[in-house]
Each structure stands twice: as structure tokens, then as C-alpha cells.
Amino acid sequence: MTEVLFYHLQGQKLEGVLPMLLEKSLERGWRVVVQGALEERIDALDAHLWTYRDDGFLPHGTWREADASMQPVLLTLEEDNPNSASVRFLIDGAAMPPDAEAYQRIVLLFDGNDDDAVAAARGHWASAKAKGFEATYWQPDENGRWLKNA
């Protein structure tokens, strides 16, 4: 059954949260696709994932590359799954994929300061529950630790 995890970003930026979640996915042996809605954001994340830590980087590529199918983490604007990922991250309002049930996990990250993003996340929550997916809601506490609230 597909799990859908909703991460409510409050006082945190995507660039700080996403690398940690991607690292955890790779530690579990999962291949990942990150789908965004804006090419500029994908380009910025591409650069960020090479430099966000002084002691390492996150191996990844973009959908434009010839070896996209080989990437453990693939950044894309497209709905397809060229690297056979079992986990799909949705950022910046990217739509739920039509083949959502094909993934082990879908992670939707949304900006808690953006009313439109919150409303869209609520719609995705209702849709996920209606499809019988296991949906969980995560929110940071005052120390920035993620707590499962639903």
C-alpha cells in the first residue's frame, strides 16, 4: 500500500529539510524522484545538493541527463519515473502522479506560510484517504524535530 507523508514546513526551508529526507531514503536503499513545478527551482536544488554539506554531497541528477535512469535521486518536472524510483517527493505544488499507487511512498512537502499550498495539501490529503492510501501528517516542534500529528 502506498504511504503518503505530508510535511508541513513551518519556519523551515525546503533546502534544509529535503536533503535530510533524501539521505534517509537512500539509507533505506530506495531510489527517489523529486518532482517540482519550476525549472529554476530544480536547477537551484541541483546545485544545492552538491554543496549543502561540507563533508559530502548527495548523489543525484536531473531529468535532462542522458543517464537519468541510473540516478539514485532524480530531480524532474515530469510525471514519469525514469529511474524506477519507489519514493516520489512532490515540491512547490507538483501534482500527485496519476500512478501514485505504483510508489511505496509519496512525500509531499508544502509551505505552511502559503495559504494556497496549505489548501492544495488538504485536497491531496482527502484524495489520498479516498484512494485508501496510508496518509500521515508531520509538523516540526519548537526545536525543529518532526512529529507525526495525524
User: Domain with 54 in it: what CATH number?
Assistant: 3.40.50.10110
Give how far Cα 70 sits from Cα of 12, 97, 99, 108, 141, Å: 31, 21, 21, 24, 37
Radius of gyration, alpha carbons of the chain:
15
* Res 31 pLDDT > 90: yes
Residue-number span of the structural domain to which 87 is assigned: 3-148
d(CA 89, CA 19): 11
Q: What is the DSSP letter of 34?
A: E
Mean pLDDT over 36-58 rounds to 92
Instruction: Give the pLDDT band of residue 34 (cuts 50, 70, 90).
Output: very high
pLDDT score recorded for residue 68: 95
Number of domains forming the structure of the chain: 1
Provide the pLDDT for residue 54: 85
pLDDT score at 142:
85
Write the CB contacts of 91 (distance below 8 Å, at least 6 apart in sequence).
Answer: 14, 18, 34, 35, 36, 37, 41, 109
